[in-house]
Amino acid sequence: MVLLGTIVNSVSILAGSILGLFLSGIPERLKATVLHGIGLAVFIIGASMGMKAGEDILLVIISVVLGGFLGEWMDIQGKLEAIGKYTEKKLKRYGKGKIAEAFVFSSLVYVIGAMAIVGAMESGLTLKNTTLYTKAMIDGISSIIFSSTLGIGVAMSAIPVFLYQGSIALCAEWLRSVLQDSVINTMTATGGILIMGISLQILEVKKIHVANLLPSIFIAALLKWLQIRLFN
């Protein structure tokens, strides 16, 4: 089921938010330890996806390099952060309700990020939800923390998460119907490298502008398609 990962992710946010209403004073040390454990798991997931490159590893590397150049030129990371800042600014200007504030804040945290995009694409392209299941764990834990301090508005962020990730997954499913398996594997392997980059951020090893590497997934698809058409 192409939307299963998105549904699980949305439900985890809803459940975590409700649980957080009854909890308070969660130690930061406990939160950090759990998230670091998940970060290690995310690295393994990314590595396993990257292994799908096989003989196309050079093509994947070229795609990441070209995607990085394109992403930096487009400044995808900066634009995503600008959207967040703009939304927060509008919120302060037109309404300061605690529920609205919690809703906007948590929605930005859960939606604006490479893991949401790569995970949803994985669901649509391969019908596997490993990345979104892991994201669901991270979002579920963080929603407990957020709702314990911000309130029930955090639970409402499950709606934009479902709509956003679900739309990407459905579009990716359409792509799966027109792309060859080898192209999908190359896209998956490239996405795996991005997932590994996300894990390094979770582990607080290095801050990487993973969003600026997102074009590499589509460049990988194009290069593999050209390879098939020209040399096979």
Which residue ranges make up each domain of the chain? 4-231
Distance CA 144, CA 16 (A): 5
- The b/e string for 165-187 (b: 16+ C-beta within 10 A; e otherwise) is bbebbeebbebbeebeebbbbbb
pLDDT (tens, 9 = 90+) of the chain, 232 residues, equals 889 999 999 999 999 999 988 876 667 777 778 778 878 888 988 898 888 888 889 999 999 999 999 999 998 878 777 766 666 666 555 444 566 767 777 777 788 777 888 889 889 988 889 889 989 988 998 888 888 777 788 888 898 899 999 999 999 898 888 788 888 888 888 988 988 988 888 788 888 888 888 899 889 989 998 988 887 6
pLDDT at 14: 94
DSSP classification of residue 179: S
pLDDT at 8: 95
Q: What is the pTM of this model?
A: 0.76
pLDDT at 4: 94
pLDDT at 95: 47
pLDDT at 94: 44
Angle between helices 181-202 and 28-50 (to 10 degrees): 160
How does DSSP assign 81-132, residue by residue? HHHHHHHHHHHHHH---HHHHHHHHHHHHHHSSHHHHHHHHHHHHHS--HHH
